[in-house]
Amino acid sequence: MTDAAGLAALAAGHLDLITAPFTLPRSRILVFRSEDGDGVRVHTSEYEKPLDECRLLDGVTVTDAAGQVLPVSDVLPWRIAFGSSPAWVAGPSTSSGTQTGPPTLTFDGPAALSIAGPEGTRVELRHPDGRIETLPLTPAGIRLRLGAGRTAVTEDGDHAAALAACEAQWLEWFAKCPRVRTDLQPMTAFCWWVLGANIVELPSLGDARAVVPSKIGYVGLWQWDAYFIAVGLRHGDPELAREQLDIAFRFAGADGQLPDVVHEQGILASSDDLPESDRATLRRAGSQIADPSQPVPLTKPPLAAWALRRVLEVEDAPDWARWQLDRVIRSQDWWFAASDLDGDGMPEYGHPYSSGLDDSPVFDGPIPTAAPDLGSYLVCQDREIAGLLARYEPDADATRFVTRAQRTQELLLRMWDATSSRFIAFGAGEQIRSDTVLGLLPLRTGTLPDDVRDALRTALDDPERYALAWGLPTVAASDPDFSPERMWRGPIWINTSALVAEGLEASGFADRARELREQTVRLVVHGGGPHEYYNPHTGLKAGRATTAFGWSAALFIDLAVRLTEPDPHS
Ligand code: GLC
C-alpha cells in the first residue's frame, strides 16, 4: 500500500504550475510558472476576479553565483526547486539549517512564501507596479509576506522550519487519500491534491474551510459543487465533507431557498446579487436574463438530500443529520411553494443558473423552464427525504413526501414525447425540443415505465446521439446545437456522467452503469486531469475549461473507490 509520501509523489507528477499551481490548503496564494518558463509568478485567488487582476508578483527568478537563471527543476506539493546542479541534488534538501540542496520556494503559513538558496544564489522579485528587487539568497531564507492590498513585503525567514511545516501539512492531507485500484491510484492522488489545494477560508465564516470548485476560476462555495465535492471528500475526510454541506445549507433564506453561492463577501441568492462582470457577459450574449425586471432567485438543483445521505453513509452523525435534514426539507418545499411559477404542480427553473447547466440550449428559448432533470431530481429528493426521516426521525410522518414524489413523477411523465421517444422541456409553456442530457436524468428515478426506460437506454447506446468515443456528451451529437467545445452544449462533464450512471443502475442496467463509470475514469486519466469539461471527440480538456476542478476531482475519487470495490452484480 502506498504511503503518504508515495501518494504525494504520484500527485506531484501533475504539478506543472500551469494547469495545477503551487498552493497550500487554506491559502489564497497561487504560484504559476512564468510565461518565459524560467521563473514563477504569484497571484491571489478571489471571488469572481480574473487572475490577471489578482497579481502579487509578476516574476520570481532565481540565479546562481554566475548570474545564470536557474529554471524550475522539480515540484513537490510542498516545494518548488530551482536549478539542477548535481552537487545540490546530491545534498540533503530539507530540515537542516545549512542548505546544501538547490534553491527552494515553499509556504510559510497561508499568507507567506519562503525562498532560500545556497550562498551566492540570488532572487529577483518583479512587483506589479514595475519595481524590481534583487536580493541575495541565504540558507535561512527570505520570507515574502503577501498581504492585504496585494502587497509583497520581504522579511527574515526560517526556511527550514517553513519547509518542514509545509511538508508535514501536505503529508497529513495525503495520509487521508483513499486507496484504490492500482491503475487509478496516480490520478486519485492528484485528485486528492486538487481537493486539498482548493480549500480556502471564508473570513465571514470564522475558520470554516470551503473546498471551492477552483482557486483559479471559481472562488466560492457553489451549492451543487459542494454536494459533489462532499461525495468525493467523504472517502478520506468525512468531517470536511460534512463541513461543505453545513456551509452550503447554512444560508437558506427564510422561505427555505438555498443560495447558488456562498462567498467571502456574502451570498449569491438572487439575480440582484450577480457580480457586474457576470451581467456584462450575459448582456454581451444578448441574454434575456441579464437585466430581469424583477429579481429572480438563484439556486442549484435539488440534490441536497442525495449528498446528505451519501456523506452519512461513510460515517454516521445522527444529531448533525437531523439538523441538516430540516434545512433540506425546507429547501425541497421551497421548490414547490416558490418555484412552481405556472402553478401546475411541477416546479420550473426561473433562471438557467439554477439548473447548473447554464448554457444548455434548453435555455435558449423563453424562461421559466420546466425540465425533466428538475422533475426527476425532485422525485428522488422527496424519496430520499422519506428515507432519511425513517432513519433519523422515526416518529415523523413521511407520507407527504412519498405522495408528492408520486404526483411529481406523474407530471414528469407528461414531458415524455412518445413520437420522438424523448423527454422534452417547456420554456414558458412552449416545447423545447433540444436533445440534451437533461432528458436522460429521469433514469435516476428507477421507476420509469419499461418503454420509456428502454428508449433512454437506446439513446445512450446510439453513436449518433450519446455513445461518443470518450463518453456521454451533454447535448446529443445529432442535435443542431451540439458543439464539442462549448460549455454545456456538447462537452462531457463528470457530474452528468456520474448521475446518469446512477440512473442506469437504478433502472436495472448495472452493467451499462459500470461501463459508463469505467469510461468516465478513463477519460480523466486520458485527459490528463480533472478538468471542468472535455471535448467528447478527443477526450481532452475543452479549450475554455478550467483545470484542477473540484467536482471532477471529487467524482473521479468516488468512481475510483466504487470501481475498486468488488462488483456486487457479478
Ligand atoms: C458554472 C457551472 C455551474 C457550476 C459553477 C461552479 O457556472 O455552469 O454548474 O456550479 O460553474 O463550478
240 pLDDT above the threshold of 50: yes
Q: What is the pLDDT of residue 206?
A: 82
- Does the residue 366 lie in any domain? yes
Q: Whose CA is nearest to atom 2 of ligand 1?
A: 356
Q: How far apart are CA 77 and CA 189, in angstroms?
A: 11
Q: Name the amino acid, one letter, at 236.
A: G
The predicted-structure confidence for 248-275, as pLDDT tens digits, reads as follows 999 999 999 999 999 988 999 999 998 8
Protein residues with CB under 6 Å of any ligand 1 atom: 213, 218, 222, 224-225, 356, 358
Say if residue 101 is in the same domain as residue 206.
Answer: no
Same domain for 380 and 245, yes or no, is: yes
Paired residues of 297 in beta bridges: 270
The answer to whether residues 108 and 214 belong to one domain is: no
Question: What's the confidence (pLDDT) of residue 567?
Answer: 75
Ligand 1 mutation target, pool 48, 198, 222, 268, most atoms within 8 A of CB:
222
> According to the model, what pLDDT value does residue 92 have?
46
Tell me how far apart the alpha carbons of residues 378 and 553 are, in angstroms, rounded to a whole number: 26
Ligand 1: atom nearest CA of 224 is: 10
Q: Does 268 lie in the same domain as 391?
A: yes
Q: Is residue 36 part of a domain?
A: yes
Q: Average pLDDT in the 153-166 region?
A: 96
Give the three-state DSSP class for 178.
coil
Rounded to an integer, what distance in angstroms lies between the CA atom of residue 482 and that of residue 406? 33
The Cβ of residue 147 has, within 10 Å, a number of other Cβ atoms equal to 11
Specify which of 147-151, 221-225, 293-297 reaches the highest per-range mean pLDDT. 221-225
Percent of the chain with pLDDT over 70: 96
- Give per-residue pLDDT as tens, 31-44: 999 987 789 999 99
Name, in order, each residue with C-beta under 8 angstroms of 253's C-beta and a sequence gap of 6 or more.
259, 269, 334
SS3 198: coil
Instruction: Please report whether residue 131 resides in a domain.
Output: yes
The least confident of 30-44, 302-316, 379-393 is 30-44
All three cell numbers of 62, joined, read 532565481
Q: What's the CA-to-centroid distance between 218 and ligand 1, angstroms?
A: 8
HEC string of 488-533? Answer: CCCCECHHHHHHHHHHHHHCCCHHHHHHHHHHHHHHHHHHCCCCCC
Please tell me which residue, 92 or 477, carries the higher pLDDT value.
477
* Burial grade of 143 (CB within 10 A; 0-12, 13-18, 19 or more): buried
Among 215, 289, 299, 358, which residue has the most ligand 1 atoms within 8 Å of its CB, making it the best to mutate? Answer: 358
Q: Which atom of ligand 1 is nearest to the CA of 356?
A: 9
Q: Which amino acid is at 49?
A: K
In 10 A of CB 263, how many CB atoms?
24
| d(CA 355, ligand 1 centre) in Å | 9
Query: Does residue 442 surpass a pLDDT of 50?
Result: yes
Residue 570 lies in a domain: no
243 lies in the same domain as 212: yes
**Segments of 224-350 assigned E as strands:** 261-263, 266-268
pLDDT at res. 88: 61
Each residue of 24-70: pLDDT tens digit?
A: 999 999 999 998 778 999 999 999 889 999 999 999 999 999 999 99
80 and 197 both lie in a single domain: no
Which of 211, 215, 225, 228 most suits a substitution to test ligand 1, by most atoms within 8 Å of the C-beta? Answer: 225
CB 546 within 8 A of CB 523: no
C-alpha cell at 343: 402553478
Centre of ligand 1 to C-alpha 353, Å, is 8
Tell me what the mean pLDDT of segment 208-225 comes to.
Answer: 95
pLDDT in tens, 107-132: 999 999 999 999 999 999 999 999 99
Q: What is the CATH number of the domain that holds 403?
A: 1.50.10.10
Atom of ligand 1 nearest to the CA of 358: 8
- Tell whether the model's pLDDT for residue 96 goes beyond 70: no
What residues does 426 pair with on adjacent strands? 370, 431
Distance 260 CA to ligand 1 centre (A): 9
Last residue of a domain, one of 145, 172, 199: 172
Domain boundary among 172, 204, 226: 172
Q: Look at residues 150, 172, 194 and tell me which one is the last residue of a structural domain.
A: 172
Q: In the prediction, which pLDDT does 553 show?
A: 99
324 and 471 share one domain: yes
- In this structure, the answer to whether residues 278 and 401 fall within a common structural domain is yes
Distance of CA 119 from the midpoint of ligand 1 (Å): 48
Are both 155 and 211 inside the same structural domain? no
Picking from 322, 329, 323, the residue whose alpha carbon sits closest to that of residue 304 is 329
Do 348 and 439 fall within a single domain? yes
Which residue's CA lies nearest to atom 12 of ligand 1? 213
- Cis amide bond preceding 568, omega within 30: no
For residue 546, give the ligand 1 atom closest to its CA: 12
What is the reported pLDDT for 77? 98
Report, as an integer, the average pLDDT of 523-541: 98
d(CA 305, CA 321): 10
State the closest ligand 1 atom to the C-alpha of 551, by its place in the atom list counted from 1: 12
How far is the centre of ligand 1, averaged over its atoms, from the C-alpha of 211 (Å)?
14
CA of residue 155 to ligand 1 center, whole Å: 40
Q: Which atom of ligand 1 is nearest to the CA of 487?
A: 8
Closest by Cα among 198, 268, 267, 183 to 232: 198
pLDDT of residue 277: 78
Whether the pLDDT of residue 475 is over 60: the answer is yes
Distance CA 486, CA 248 (A): 28
User: Which residue's CA is the closest to the ligand 1 atom numbered 3?
Assistant: 356
Please check whether residue 511 lies inside any domain of the structure.
yes
* % of the chain residues with pLDDT over 90: 87
pTM for this predicted structure: 0.96
Query: What integer pLDDT is reported at residue 90 of this predicted model?
Result: 45
Lowest mean pLDDT of 153-157, 322-326, 332-336, name the range: 153-157
Give me the domain span that covers residue 484: 176-564
- Evaluate whether residue 26 is within a structural domain: yes
Helices 223-233 and 238-250 cross at an angle (nearest 10°) of 170
Counting the structural domains of the chain, the total is: 2
Per the domain annotation, does 569 fall within a domain?
no
Q: How far is the CA of 225 from the centre of ligand 1 (A)?
A: 7
Ligand 1 centroid – CA 356 distance (Å): 6
Span from the CA of 275 to the centroid of ligand 1 (angstroms): 15
The answer to whether residue 80 is domain-embedded is yes
298-326 b/e (C-beta count within 10 Å ≥ 16 → b): bbbbbbbbbbbbbbbeeeeeeebbeebbe
Are 149 and 297 contained in the same domain?
A: no
Q: How far is the CA of 569 from the centre of ligand 1 (A)?
A: 34
> Are 136 and 230 contained in the same domain?
no
